[in-house]
Amino acid sequence: MNLTLKIWRQENAKAKGHFETYHLKDISPECSFLEMLDILNEQLINDNIAHPVCFDNDCREGICGMCGLYINGRPHGPDDGVTTCQLHMRRFKDGDTITIEPWRARPFPVIKDLVVDRSAFDKIIQEGGYTSATTGGVPDANAIPIAKRKADEAMDSASCIGCGACVAACKNASAMLFVSGKISQLALLPQGKPEAAIRVKRMVKKMDELGFGSCTNTFACEAECPKQLKRTNIARMNREWICANICSDEK
């Protein structure tokens, strides 16, 4: 496959960015998208054309959530339910022009090129995405009976990898799918009940402080989530937040 790549290059958060065009030849359709970028960087280094393109990656197995790229107007590219590292070049055609950008959101400032700072998510988790109970040794799996439906919902919510695709897809850069997933995975289980009110109020407050927008109810977040989290998590988070503000003394 012969491809034309239009890639966003930006030195840092304060620098003015721009698109640069590169051409690649003889790319295998079986390459992953990140392998294609590796090939581009090798070409840039060997031919002394430019500095390599910076992009995030780690596990390359769809687990870590690092490989967030905006590809032809969609987070993670044209496939549904996959991360960028799971996207293969067979989804494109010979001669295609591919536009590659970083996430576009104020809480995710550009570090360099396609790399953004997603530490805002870490700050939200630090506000309450945990339980503080001392559990001691590993408890027996059947010690606390949990209905299978609840357990399945909690596991589905916990599958969020924090990649930020929901934020990138939302026209208001809302993080509500991410935050609601983290709240739901604990709110659905008895272990998360004691701190439920404090958790939801603190996490939602921190989300707002960091500059994430409000939910637009277009559900683009659900459509682009690589782990296919459901918008029902957002409804659950809203209910938890309303109940917390009515019943809790936590400020």
Mean pLDDT, the chain, rounded, equals 93
Q: Decide if 3-111 and 118-247 have a common fold.
A: no
Instruction: Give the start-to-end residue ranges of the domains of the chain.
Output: 3-111, 118-247
Phi, psi of 56 (to 5 degrees): -80, 140
Contacts of residue 42, Cβ cutoff 8 Å, sequence gap at least 6: none
For the segment 128-162, what is each residue's pLDDT rounded down to a tens digit?
988 876 666 766 767 778 889 999 999 999 999 99
The one-letter code for the residue type at 11 is: E
Q: How far apart are CA 21 and CA 213, in angstroms?
A: 32
pLDDT higher than threshold 60 for residue 2? yes
By the 10 Å C-beta count (0-12 exposed, 13-18 middle, 19+ buried), 79 is classed as: middle
Per-residue 3-state assignment (H helix, E strand, C coil) for the chain: CCEEEEEEECCCCCCCCEEEEEEECCCCCCCEHHHHHHHHHHHHHHCCCCCCCCCCCCCCCCCCCCCCCEECCEECCCCCCCCHHHCEHHHCCCCCEEEEECCCCCCCCEEECCEECCHHHHHHHHCCCCCCCCCCCCCCCCCCCCCHHHHHHHHHHHCCCCCCHHHHHCCCCECHHHHHHHHHHHHCCHHHCCCHHHHHHHHHHHHHHCCCECCCCCCHHHHHCCCCCCCHHHHHHHHHHHHHHHHCCCC
How confident is the model at residue 136, as a pLDDT?
67
Beta strands 3-9 and 97-101 are parallel
Phi, psi of 6 (to 5 degrees): -105, 105
pLDDT category, 49, cuts 50, 70, 90? confident
Start-to-end CA distance of the chain, whole Å, equals 58
Closest residue by Cα to residue 67 from 159, 158, 169, 164: 164
How confident is the model at residue 40, as a pLDDT?
97
How confident is the model at residue 140, as a pLDDT?
73
Contacts of residue 5, Cβ cutoff 8 Å, sequence gap at least 6: 21, 22, 23, 24, 40, 97, 98, 100
For the segment 186-218, what is each residue's pLDDT rounded down to a tens digit?
999 888 888 999 999 999 999 999 999 999 899
How confident is the model at residue 138, as a pLDDT?
66
Percent of the chain with pLDDT over 70: 96
Mean pLDDT of the region 25-45: 96
Contacts of residue 51, Cβ cutoff 8 Å, sequence gap at least 6: 44
Superfamily of domain 3-111 in the CATH hierarchy: Beta-grasp domain (3.10.20.30)
How confident is the model at residue 178, as a pLDDT?
97
| Cβ–Cβ under 8 Å, residues 114 and 8 | yes
CATH architecture of the domain with residue range 118-247: Orthogonal Bundle (1.10)
Mean pLDDT of the region 30-44: 97
pLDDT category, 235, cuts 50, 70, 90? very high
pTM of the predicted protein model: 0.91
How confident is the model at residue 249, as a pLDDT?
57
How confident is the model at residue 141, as a pLDDT?
65
Which residues are registered as beta bridge partners of 74?
71
pLDDT category, 248, cuts 50, 70, 90? low
